Amino acid sequence: MKTKLSQILINVVEQLKQQGVLAADQQVRVQVDPTKDKAHGDFATNLAMLLAKPAGLAPRDLAAKIIALLPQDSIIQKVEMAGPGFINFFVDDQAKFAVVANILQQKAEFGKVDVGVGRSVLLEYVSANPTGPLHVGHGRGAAYGASLANLLSFAGFNVTREYYVNDAGRQMDILATSLWLRYLELCGETFTFPSNGYKGDYIYAIARQLHDMRGDTLRKPVFEVFAGVFPDETQEGGDKEQHIDDVILRTKALLGATDYEVVFQLVLKDILTDIEQDLGEFGVDFDNWFSERSLMNSGVVDAALEKLQKSGKVYEQNGALWFRSTDYGDEKDRVVVRDNGLKTYFASDIAYHFNKLERGFDILIDIWGSDHHGYVPRVKAAMQAMGTNPDALQVLLVQFAILYRGGERAQMSTRSGQFVTLRELRDEVGTDAARFFYVQRKSEQHMDFDLDLAKSKSNENPVYYIQYAHARICSVLGQLADKGYTLDVAQGLANLEQLNTEYEIDLATRLAQFPDLIGRAASANEPHQIAYYLKDLAHGLHSYYNSQQFIVEDDGLRNARMALIMAVQQVLQNGLAIIGVSAPEKM
RNA sequence: GCGCCUGUAGCUCAGCUGGAUAGAGUACUCGGCUACGAACCGAGCGGUCAGGAGUUCGAAUCUCUUCAGGCGCACCA
């Protein structure tokens, strides 16, 4: 309907050009919008106001010219000029119900558009360090990423979902060392656990596994472990960072490369498996789990650094290797290889993003926590230096949820082991409510997450409002048989002209807007628009439901109503599927 | 100090690439089940769109500026 009106108006603009009212090279973006006020018809265009100046006419005079050029069309009941020069279109009520047949025919496909035109997207999200279970802070990125992937896919993009596993680097060494220390405790050794080690309970569980596997074979006396290490911060003149670094070195030396790798792989695999399962139960899946270590070990990082070196984009200073990111607008140059010979996380990321494009993707989307926003310019700089197009990368930043518990802000720290896990949240509020809660808000919006409210009063979550609408429709359809009627969709579709109440027209209008909404939401990377749309659609259904009895004696009218609510049911399903929420038949 | 994000009803948030009288939920006050599910519906109350200046037919939306909050500014990831 909307596209049809746009087409008509584009033709009118062409005619205006031929008549010389507009210059032949005049650029025009025809805009047709649904109206907010029914008094303004169904659709309105501001075309006359936009073109008034170039045409050298008063907006209302130009509007009159445009209206005169409009062709006769059966679906357009009336055209009016209004206000400063709006042109309002009144669409024939019966034409509005055509969408019902489309929906029932296309089913789960209804709403698909092609703004993606088959372009391939690599969508990277979550990518939390595998140093512990996911907490509620990761939940938002997970819910957003998964919903966006569904949305883009629905909008015609070819989406690949990827989790970047940061399994290289110092944090992983701290983790492996923490595990071994807990293992030593199980062997009977006693000592003070490093203040900068990972203290979460999950480490104990893995340590027990290790002990079951290897008995005491990996045990070393404590005095050897802590021999000559820098004191911890709890001691006079100590430092937690230097302390843990020394303990790592001792751990590696005492265990040897082979056994250290055993410990390392055990904790990595255990945590990664847990994360994968956790996300899976949250309805968040991935096509690839991409290992940073594999990038390192296969020489891809070295190759990338070499490439930069050859083109003179890196230089040595103070024993470290620096990338000239300032050449590309970054605030300062960045270290890629430290003076101790270790490559930085940034070095891997240069190689990783280069690798992504080498795999043939047209568009790269990274979803990061907003605290990483300062990181964007250097990655783009690196992409440019590597000879690739930095505009291929879109970084979407997700604000952290600020947790409130008992009216106070709850602090979260993986290291200290004090956090609410995503799993706990799912157990207490349910996957549907959690998914909806996260995706309800625009990603860059700060979000207050009241744990008490989410847990205790979960019925207030609007997700139930939408699901209830769906269940209600299912219930009504079930009632047909109880009342001795059989559903006849064909008859319903043939009698749509019997639908004429404001509720019915309103529902049909909303349903018709769904594909357009998908296109807009996908273009803006905003799955929250789907959530708001569904709330509106559900409201339309509930109001309709309360206004009159659906199941009436007249066969044609009854079946027409069934067709309409079945269309609503279908669109609710399609929309809920995108945001990863179930559409239950009963509640 | 510099950069990014945010500021809309008491509270939590929408506001569709500048459009007509700024919306929803919640809270509060009323009203609606012998009805296909009341996890619902209807009505009311509630706003200097943080403040100021500018751009134009028209600004919550764009520009500048002030204020307030969040987050970054490592040879950490």
Mind listing the pLDDT tens digit for each residue in A225-244? 999 999 998 888 888 888 99
Q: How far apart are CA A577 and CA A581, in angstroms?
A: 6
Angstrom distance, A527 CA to B33 C1': 37
> Which tokens go with A285?
């899946």
* pLDDT the model gives residue A207: 96
In the predicted model, is pLDDT for residue A27 greater than 90?
Answer: no
**Structural domain includes residue A141:** no
Looking at A266, A281, A296, the residue that finishes a domain is A281
Q: Which residue has the higher pLDDT, A52 or A570?
A: A570
In the predicted model, is pLDDT for residue A174 greater than 80?
Answer: yes
* pLDDT the model gives residue A370: 87
Q: Domains in chain A: how many in total?
A: 3
**Dihedral-angle region of residue A450 (phi above 0 means left; psi in -120 to 50 means alpha; beta otherwise):** beta
Separation in Å, CA A381 to CA A312, A357, A429: 14, 15, 42
Same domain, A186 and A265: yes
pLDDT tens per residue across span A348-372: 999 999 999 999 999 999 999 888 8
In the predicted model, is pLDDT for residue A20 greater than 90?
Answer: no
pLDDT band at A415 (very low <50, low <70, confident <90, very high): low
**Structural domain includes residue A196:** yes
Q: Which residue has the higher pLDDT, A7 or A104?
A: A104
* pLDDT the model gives residue A21: 85
Looking at A223, A251, A281, the residue that finishes a domain is A281
Same domain, A44 and A107: no
pLDDT band at A412 (very low <50, low <70, confident <90, very high): low
Assign residue A48 the CATH number of its domain: 3.30.1360.70
By percentage, how much of chain A surpasses pLDDT 90? Answer: 70
Q: How far apart are CA A66 and CA A435, in angstroms?
A: 47
Same domain, A41 and A105: no
* pLDDT the model gives residue A421: 86
Mean pLDDT confidence for A423-435: 90
Give the mean pLDDT of chain A: 91
Same domain, A186 and A270: yes
**Structural domain includes residue A495:** yes
Separation in Å, CA A63 to CA A7, A70, A87, A323, A358: 17, 11, 7, 58, 52
**Structural domain includes residue A164:** no
3-state helix, strand, coil in chain A (%, to 5): 55, 15, 30
* pLDDT the model gives residue A529: 95
Nucleotide nearest A342 (Cα, C1'): B75
> Which of A75-79, A399-403, A475-479 is most confident?
A475-479
* pLDDT the model gives residue A39: 84
**Structural domain includes residue A393:** no
Angstrom distance, A95 CA to B1 C1': 62
3-state secondary structure A397-451: EECCEEEEECCEECCCECCCCECCEHHHHHHHHCHHHHHHHHHCCCCCCCEEEEH
Q: How far apart are CA A562 and CA A546, in angstroms?
A: 15
Mean pLDDT confidence for A251-269: 95
By percentage, how much of chain A surpasses pLDDT 70? Answer: 97
Mean pLDDT confidence for A209-220: 96
Nucleotide nearest A335 (Cα, C1'): B75
In the predicted model, is pLDDT for residue A410 greater than 70?
Answer: no
pLDDT tens per residue across span A524-556: 999 999 999 999 999 999 999 999 999 999 999
Q: 3-class DSSP state for residue A170?
A: helix
Q: Which residue has the higher pLDDT, A331 or A568?
A: A568
Same domain, A187 and A107: no
Same domain, A63 and A111: no
Same domain, A182 and A79: no
Nucleotide nearest A292 (Cα, C1'): B77
Angstrom distance, A115 CA to B53 C1': 40
* pLDDT the model gives residue A418: 62
Assign residue A524 the CATH number of its domain: 1.10.730.10
pTM of the model: 0.94
Angle at A354 between CA A348 and CA A357, to 5 degrees: 140
> Which tokens go with A401?
């949820």
Mean pLDDT confidence for A465-477: 96
* pLDDT the model gives residue A30: 86
> Which tokens go with A31?
């805009």
**Structural domain includes residue A75:** yes
**Which bases in strand B are touched by protein, i.e. have an atom under 7 Å from a CB?**
3-7, 12-17, 19-21, 23-26, 32, 35-42, 57-58, 69-77
Q: What kind and span of H or E run contains A120?
A: strand A120-124
Question: Within 13 Å, how many C-alpha atoms sit on residue A447's CB side?
Answer: 22
CB A574 within 8 A of CB A155: no
Same domain, A107 and A190: no
* pLDDT the model gives residue A456: 66
Same domain, A46 and A102: no
Q: Which residue has the higher pLDDT, A281 or A54?
A: A281
* pLDDT the model gives residue A416: 59
Domain containing residue A41: 2-91
Same domain, A186 and A104: no
Mean pLDDT confidence for A16-38: 85
Same domain, A268 and A198: yes
3-state secondary structure A335-385: EEECCCCCECHHHHHHHHHHHHHHCCCCEEEEEEEHHHHHHHHHHHHHHHH
Nucleotide nearest A552 (Cα, C1'): B36
End-to-end CA distance of chain A: 36
Looking at A254, A281, A308, the residue that finishes a domain is A281
* pLDDT the model gives residue A289: 97
In the predicted model, is pLDDT for residue A401 greater than 80?
Answer: no
Same domain, A247 and A180: yes
**Structural domain includes residue A138:** no
Q: What's chain A's Rg over C-alpha atoms?
A: 30
In the predicted model, is pLDDT for residue A406 greater than 70?
Answer: no
Angstrom distance, A534 CA to B41 C1': 18
* pLDDT the model gives residue A417: 58
**Structural domain includes residue A420:** no
Residue with tokens 């106001």: A49
Angstrom distance, A39 CA to B23 C1': 18
Angstrom distance, A362 CA to B66 C1': 43
